[in-house]
Amino acid sequence: MSATAALDKTPYDVALENFDLAANALDLDDNLRARIKYPERILSVSVPVRMDTGKVVRFEGFRVQHSTLRGPAKGGIRFHPNVTVNEVTALATWMTWKCAVVNIPYGGGKGGVTCNPKAMSMGELERLSRRYASSILPLIGPERDIPAPDVYTTPQIMAWIMDTFSMNKGYPVMGVVTGKPICLGGSLGRNEATGRGVFYTTVSSCQHLQLAIPGARVVVQGFGNAGSIAAMLFHQAGARVIAASDSRGCVANPGGLDVPALIAYKERTGALAEFPGAPSLTPDELLATECEILVPAALENALTRDNAHAVRARIVAEAANGPVTPEADLILQEKGVFLIPDILCNAGGVTVSYFEWVQDENHLFWDENDVNLRLEKVMKRAFNDVLKIHLDRQVDMRLAANMLGVGRVADAARIRGLYP
């Protein structure tokens, strides 16, 4: 999905373009732009791993710190065959604006290793994770840069990274990564947080548009952590999840899929394909399914100028990062689709990561209800802040979110003082 013929811009081109649009709308001066636009650090590492065959394979890895102006860099680690430094830099840039949109005291960072974890054994994955953690060790730490899970990285992988970091320090450092298992300083509610944030911002959008959630038709592309949890919450709220997909197939049921059964089926078989009683669809048919809420929750560039015309949704809730290209944005706007931009929609994950870090640093843990209530408050406030800019300034929701994020980072840079 990341590389289709229809794309003439890289993810980082898009990130820079979005920055320029926001900076222009805010009328930011050139000195501030020069200070906040580009990544502070990019580390490229070689990750040699002994495979089970005995052969050593070298993987490429990256850690990008885009900004530490508002606090330590914060952002996930992606293990995927399409990872490039361009993609990681774009994701790190988005993290900066995202943390500012939800107003948590972090900058932005991101990491990744170009690999196919699905083709690796647990032992190979552990050696890869530990070696990568050792390589980026000089950059990370609770006070400087805090990784978390992203596509195809898990709480177990976070545990290995935390352990590798702690072994080097000689004492346990819980706050070096978030998204850890609960028994190792993880937060209750972290696993569900991204999907929960998608749900809260969509509920707020429905209130704004006077759409009812009960009975609303929902389509989810990418039934992983973010997508499946969002689907479950929509289902529990009385919406009908009428189609869902993963990398191996799409399933549909106009009457509403049995989401708990679908999650159990995916856990058991590893895929959605051939879920009983649900005919399959092509990926294009899924995105063109008529619905109230379309949730792209897989990877970048799901909606492009080639397929955005076919969308028949009232709301597009960007659970994934960068799933809609700038050309597709314009097409959706013309069609009157209400967009919940990624840096708002999927910010629930980083928000509860922040809660996890706060709990780790204080050695005091909250119950799940407390986490969810705090998350709801943060997401609703961020949604209202973005909506206000959208309405007051008559700009689209993506630009409104970027204006909020870029504006807050610019304020921090201004107040800290521009380096002469």
Pick the piece of the chain touching ligand NAD (CB under 6 A) from 224-232, 359-367, 385-393, 404-412.
224-232
266 is annotated as an active-site residue: no
Copy the structure tokens of residue 29. 């001066």
Give min distance, CB of 392 to ligand NAD, in A: 27
Q: What are phi and psi of 38, to 5 degrees?
A: -100, 160
Instruction: Kindly tell me which residue out of 113, 161, 226, 288 binds ligand NAD, with binding defined by CB under 6 A.
Output: 226
Query: What is the number of other CB atoms lying within 10 angstroms of the CB of residue 265?
Result: 19
Instruction: Answer yes or no whether residue 299 interacts with ligand NAD by CB under 6 A.
Output: yes
DSSP annotation of 221:
E
Q: Which of residues 154-213 bind ligand NAD (CB under 6 A)?
A: 194
Gyration radius from the chain CA atoms? 20
Instruction: Kindly tell me which residue out of 39, 61, 189, 222 binds ligand NAD, with binding defined by CB under 6 A.
Output: 222
Pick the piece of the chain touching ligand NAD (CB under 6 A) from 18-26, 62-70, 126-134, 295-303.
295-303
Q: Max Cα separation, the chain?
A: 66
Write down the catalytic residue from 37, 110, 180, 266.
Answer: 110
Q: How far apart are CA 420 and CA 409, in angstroms?
A: 18
Instruction: Kindly tell me which residue out of 201, 245, 325, 359 binds ligand NAD, with binding defined by CB under 6 A.
Output: 245
Q: How many Cα neighbours within 13 Å face the side chain of 199?
A: 24
Instruction: Please identify the residue of the shown chain whose CB is closest to the bound ligand NAD.
Output: 224
Give min distance, CB of 409 to ligand NAD, in A: 19
Give min distance, CB of 70 to ligand NAD, in A: 18
- Residue 417, SS3 per DSSP: coil
Nearer to ligand NAD, 139 or 347 (CB): 347
Q: How many Cα neighbours within 13 Å face the side chain of 250?
A: 19
Helices (H), 324-367: 326-334, 342-345, 348-362
Q: Quick check: 146 and 178 in contact, CB under 8 A?
A: yes
Pick the piece of the chain touching ligand NAD (CB under 6 A) from 5-13, 120-128, 137-145, 241-249.
241-249
Q: Give me the residues that bind ligand NAD (CB under 6 A), please.
A: 1, 149-152, 194, 221-227, 245-247, 283, 297-299, 319-321, 346, 349
**What positions carry a catalytic annotation?**
110
